[in-house]
Chains A and B, each alone.
Chain A
């Protein structure tokens, strides 16, 4: 598959950046809070990613279509309204149609509003680029978010519960690593993940002044 023929030169560059060099979680460390909280089980990680991708796409369409009209002084408010409305829709739809998933995710669905990744993409990309390119960017970033969450969730679910998607994959005498189910476990796994990916992608850590 050639990304350039499918999405054009700019689109291909956008995708490559989003899923590797400028990856929202590993490079920009945005959206880390939800990556830590919702990565205890693969099922939850999938549902969370779906929610984030939906809100990201919605924000991309609305912000990039209206980018010439949005007065720059109130643009942050406009992002907030869009994101908050999108999240509320996801929350209500989940509760009405998938109540069990909604329960497992608890307060984290409403917290998509504060997922800095969506706000970050709106400010850094959607406000400056046309809808088509913004949609590509939203999809690529959503995918990057999803695969990271999945990677962490697979490690955590296998070690902490001995299962993947609820199916047992470990031997019968497996002892669960309870620490990985607890929030602290997420820090260990994400930390190691960041270390590997950053070294591999050659991302320089931000220098603090």
Chain B
């Protein structure tokens, strides 16, 4: 009996000790972490809205150029020229894909795309999500729908060349873009 009480007592004391230590570390680090996460999101919103920024002035540029508002629980970021941006979530070919998408003020053209998180195959699918390729989507029409077509065949203003070897990621991205553009239109057009 005494053994059992000792055992429980030891685990309890040990647990309380570590819990206190963790709470202390958490209070110490959480302001920095929150600041970092917020700044990261602001950076991506700026990238999607194609607003240039200096590395150490993200917050300033963001507050002077972008306003945000909540519609049905979704945060919509608005730039001065009327274009809007919002966060999207979707399924990539390997795992979740998260990013920011910006549309022109009439919600018909893509203004820009920025990826926050992805887990595509390194060196293959991941190339689709690099900013150099994502720049191809600028000013492409999402109405009636955006098409990612075989490399070198894009001609219409709603077509973008795919990257050979990254078919699955292109298909996933196409789906995400179209679904989110539609959703945004339904949300804002109300």
Contacts and interface: CB of A to CB of B under 8 A. Distances in A.
Contacts, number: 52
Contacts of A85: 18, 21-22
Summarize B's interface: helix, strand, loop or mixed.
helix
B11 A74 contact: yes
A96 B7 contact: no
A169 interface: no
Nearest to A92: B29
A182 interface: yes
A71 B25 contact: no
A130 B121 CA distance: 46
Interface stretch (A23-31, A76-84, A115-123, A196-204): A76-84
Interface in A2-38: none
Q: Chain A interface mostly helix, strand, loop or mixed?
A: helix
Interface string B113-153: 00000000111100000000000000000000000000000
Interface of B: 3, 6-7, 10-11, 14-15, 18, 21-22, 25-26, 29, 32-33, 36, 40, 121-124
Given A92-B33, A93-B25, A96-B32, 4 more contacts: A71-B7, A81-B15, A81-B18, A182-B121
22 contacts: A40-B122, A70-B10, A71-B7, A71-B10, A74-B10, A78-B11, A81-B14, A85-B21, A85-B22, A92-B26, A92-B29, A93-B25, A93-B29, A95-B29, A95-B33, A96-B33, A96-B36, A97-B32, A176-B123, A178-B123, A181-B122, A182-B121
